[in-house]
Structure 1
């Protein structure tokens, strides 16, 4: 790609490892769904869906550890501030470990409350409860991994992210096949596979971080790691990201819960469609992540021209990705659905709602791209405010379309995504152009 302008080459150089690593995530989700979806009873798929939704909420509620670390690290990288680079890693890892241990300590309360909110039939709920008590054990490893990936990405080292993610998800997929297909552990096998894979990723990431630290001048400061005041920049950025992420996950959890309240078939069909939505989102996230690192670097250098070039390049790549995804779902959507389940009622329901899947990438592309831009700018307040407004629009739309059942649910979720995109776009044009 030597013919591409310099900014576009940098975007692609950062994005392709992230895209490849992200692709392993929906592939893992597809394998989870396919392995459990081909068992004799749809309850196992519904249980894994409820359990995975719960942990998306619990774990990604702390996704600010990845995003906030990336934004601050990329700006420190742009300034050439090696002291901040070192201590941002240490502070993020300490926060991640403490939060992970707190999640385990509070797990009886969190799991019970979470599954109560998500609903589902009693027999499905029992299976989801077993899944959850296994999966919560990975909390410290998952949160440490967020901090590590954010730190590496902030230094524009996306190939490390690729290595960690491919290793993690490869282990997870292999263990899915061994534990579920080979040992017939059903939904509990899916949970155990995730726990083992998460700790393998954590060990690998820490080893790579220690290697990277040997190349960064300086030593640790006990004061900067032990004094609460020294964590102020991370807390300032992350408090808005925390609210933003909780609103996003609330929207996703609400979507799953309402599907469960319709019936088990609808819940399972929506789970399959959302796996395909996530497949698109991880592709778009590659260019959003590149925007985080490159916009943050330009902000650290106070170079608005460089920033503009990077944003334009990320925009073109994002549009191409979204258009390609929409075409793929239009042409091959039924085939994807058939790969993930052999249950005829679930397949028929998923296919009937496929048009929403075609529209979604074209609506969502702007929210992903602009999230990356605002993280690089560490303007997290804007991300919080637009997410709150979008969630309010989502709830209002669902309230007036309840009679449409699953159609109203998909309409509301699409509106939620559109409001996010429009809100972030308006703020960017007002504040940063």
Structure 2
């Protein structure tokens, strides 16, 4: 457990920095009014889905680098970071170009016509310049987590987001740049962090040249994680769209509670990141028993920490919403989402750490299929029914709760099966003994 916490504490700072900055951003923009807050909500959810869709740059690189690190092949582990950074830069330029062309129709689709959509387009066009930088930072976090270097990424991310958190209110309110000032502050944060990660990679002494075969391997591994991201993308965008079509006040309230939920998800993901690095290293060193032990330790921790967070935010229900907005309509809508947000914390605590365990094992195919089923059978039917039946935020957050329950059942079943643990420095399928039960030490054959 001490080893889990040694990695989880600095990882917490890295994971919490971005959503914490978004909370600051939300609070700053929230005092401009409901229209600007709605524009930020729509723009931010689109940009966040870009990162979600490219999550393999972080999680996939961590899984591959951790196995190599566990097999005492540090140079090869760092080389995974080089290739991931090339993929990030190239993909980021494509996303920037396509995003500029599609910003207006996407905002219109999510928010309809009107001032909220116009505000979202302006914010999004500026913020998209940070897309390549966000992806480079994700790749940097990936290889550094894999080699269990958690402290430097913390300082890199804090440097960018700390400066931007100071800059945001200055640009938005001090210079009266409004919502555009928020987007510019975002890009500044991303530029600083990406530059520091590239500098750290250059100092490792490995070749920085792109290797086409390795780039293809990164993309093949990332395919399943990208499809996994689609399940989340469809869910979060649908939630924002339903809230936006309810009212500006409803989407503003959803933005605040959703950003709090994402912040706490990243807090709990600190345990998942530690589990991912430790599970990957244990499997790379062919120590299946240790991988199983770490997995069940973090499950217990996730349940305890999620329960504590639930109690804390229940106690803050009468105070915290006023920090983010003074708009009476938004404050009236907020309790419809708040109590769902409080109730799902223990469930989320277990789900998120199990995602980390399975990602550390390279079990991306299972996660892809399981989360797609959870979205298609759980989340999407409920959220779109809420739009048709006028359930508003109660329907949106009911859908999020159902989604988490589906994921909880799927992940626990997979963990108990032991089929996720494949021994060796890579995740390529080979014939190995199957694991059975929680404490089995042998490797498993990954299903096709």
Using structure 1 for the length normalisation, give the TM-score. Answer: 0.92
Please identify, of 344-353 and 283-292, the stretch whose mean Cα deviation from structure 2 is larger.
344-353
Residue 167 of structure 2 is aligned to residue 175 of structure 1? yes
Aligned residue for 1:422? Answer: 409
- Cα distance, 1:409 vs structure 2: 1.8
Shift of the alpha carbon at 1:397? 2.4
Task: State whether structure 2 residue 9 is matched by structure 1 residue 24.
Answer: no
1:334 equivalenced with 2:318 (yes/no): yes
CA distance in 1, matches of 2:47, 2:105: 13
Deviation at 1:121, TM superposition (A): 4.4
Which residue of 228, 243, 252 corresponds with 1:268? 252
Partner Cα separation in structure 2 for residue 407 and residue 80 of structure 1: 51
Q: Is the 8 A contact 1:48 1:187 kept in 2?
A: yes
Identify which range, 201-210 or 238-247, moves more after superposition.
201-210
State the match for 1:286 in structure 2.
Answer: 270
Aligned partner of residue 330 in structure 1, secondary structure: helix
- Cα deviation digits, residues 49-104 of structure 1 (max 9, x gap): 11101101123211211111000000010011234223212211111111011112
Matched, 1:410 2:403: no
Cα distance in structure 1, aligned partners of 2:191 and 2:311 = 37
Secondary structure of residue in 2 paired with 1:157: coil
Q: Does 1:93 align with 2:85?
A: yes
Indicate which of 221, 238, 246 corresponds to 2:222: 238
CA distance in 1: counterparts of 2:191 and 2:239, whole angstroms: 30
Q: Greater helix percent: which structure?
A: 1
- Aligned counterparts of 1:113 and 1:297: Cα–Cα separation in 2: 45
Cα-to-partner distance string for 1:349-369 (whole Å, 9 max, x where unaligned): 102432101112122222211
CA distance in 1, matches of 2:120, 2:208: 44
Within a 5 Å distance, the mapping from 1:9-408 to structure 2 comes to 9-39=2-32, 41-211=33-203, 213-214=204-205, 219-220=206-207, 225-227=210-212, 229-392=213-376, 393-401=378-386, 402-403=388-389, 404-408=391-395
3-state secondary structure, aligned to 1:342 = coil
Structure 2: stretches of 5+ with no match in the other structure: 421-436, 438-448
Give the aligned partner of residue 5 of structure 1. Answer: none
Tell me, in whole angstroms, the C-alpha distance in 1 between the residues paired with 2:66 and 2:127.
Answer: 32
Measured on the aligned residues, the alpha-carbon RMSD in Å equals 1.6
Following the alignment from structure 2 to structure 1, what is the Cα–Cα distance between the partners of residues 409 and 179? 39
CA distance in 1, matches of 2:97, 2:257: 34
CA contact (8 A) 1:382 1:424 kept: no
C-alpha contact 1:86 1:220 (8 A) present in aligned 2: no
Q: For 1:106, what is the secondary structure of its paired residue? A: helix
Deviates more, 1:245-254 or 1:78-87: 78-87
Per mean C-alpha deviation after superposition, the further-off stretch among 420-429 and 171-180 is: 420-429
Distance 1:353 1:45 in 2: 17
Q: What are the Cα deviations for residues 387-423 of structure 1, in whole angstroms up to 9, with x where unaligned?
A: 1101112122234444223222211111011111211
Q: Distance in 1 between matches of 2:52 and 2:97?
A: 18
Write the distance in 2 (CA, Å) between the matches of 1:100 and 1:398.
Answer: 31
- Residue 430 of structure 2 corresponds to none
**SS state of the match for residue 133, structure 2?**
helix
Unmatched 5+ stretches in structure 1 = 1-7
Distance 1:349 1:230 in 2: 49
Separation in 1, partners of 2:99, 2:263: 29
What number of residue pairs does the alignment pair up? 417
- Aligned-pair distance for 1:221? 8.3
Determine if contact 1:176/1:190 at 8 Å carries over to the other structure.
yes
Contact 2:304 2:346 in 1 (8 A): no
> Deviation at 1:259?
0.1
| Mapped partners of 1:65, 1:238: distance in 2 | 7
CA distance in 2, matches of 1:163, 1:275: 23
> Could you tell me whether the CA contact under 8 Å between 1:277 and 1:360 is conserved in 2?
no
Alignment TM-score, normalising by the size of structure 2: 0.89
